[in-house]
Amino acid sequence: MNLKIELIKENEIKDVENVIARAARQTMAVFYPDCSVEYVIESLSGQNLIDRISWTHFYVAKLDEKVIGCGAIGSFWGSETESSLFNIFIDPDYQGKGYGKQLVRVLENDEYGKRAKRIEIPASITGIPFYRRLGYKFKNDELIYEDGHFKMEKYMK
């Protein structure tokens, strides 16, 4: 099976909502209370997800046309030289197979990634080891926990 990563299409929004819900409930629930997990799911569904898609480059990862992951990149607070990754989720059935790594590489090679001198990611505790393997470090080498996330960053070449 070949992984295909492309910008989201309108007919894929429900599939993305399902991937986010499955990943949040199975992966995040290990470290976060149910209310936090449900907040993440709610904040990334319906109109909230559509709004996110409107101001980022939002990608889906697909195997044989089945959506198995998603992720987005956009400007870091309007900066022309800094970008941020958002909403990177891989269906739990497909985690640990390199698909998340491929997705992040596509995001880093998007126009927002190519122009960035620095990319920031608000990471969940479950994502920290994954992002560290991809070269991200804690922002300013400090453990910063804010709004339910740890701030991580990577300086691009």
CB contact at 8 A, 52 and 87: yes
pTM: 0.95
- Give the C-alpha separation, 92 to 113, whole Å: 26
Q: Hey, where are the domains in the chain?
A: 3-155
At a CB cut-off of 8 Å and minimum separation 6, what does 136 contact?
A: 119, 121, 123, 152, 153, 154
pLDDT at 77: 93
Residues 81-113 have pLDDT tens digits of 999 999 999 999 999 999 999 999 999 999 999
Per-residue pLDDT reduced to its tens digit, 120-136: 999 999 999 999 999 99
Instruction: For residue range 1-52, list pLDDT tens digits in order.
Output: 699 999 999 999 999 999 999 999 999 988 999 999 999 999 999 999 999 9
Q: What is the pLDDT of residues 48-74, one digit of tens each?
A: 999 999 999 999 999 999 999 999 999
CA–CA gap between residue 151 and residue 146 (Å, rounded): 7
Instruction: Specify the fold of 3-155.
Output: Aminopeptidase (3.40.630)
Nearest-angstrom CA–CA distance, 119 and 147: 18
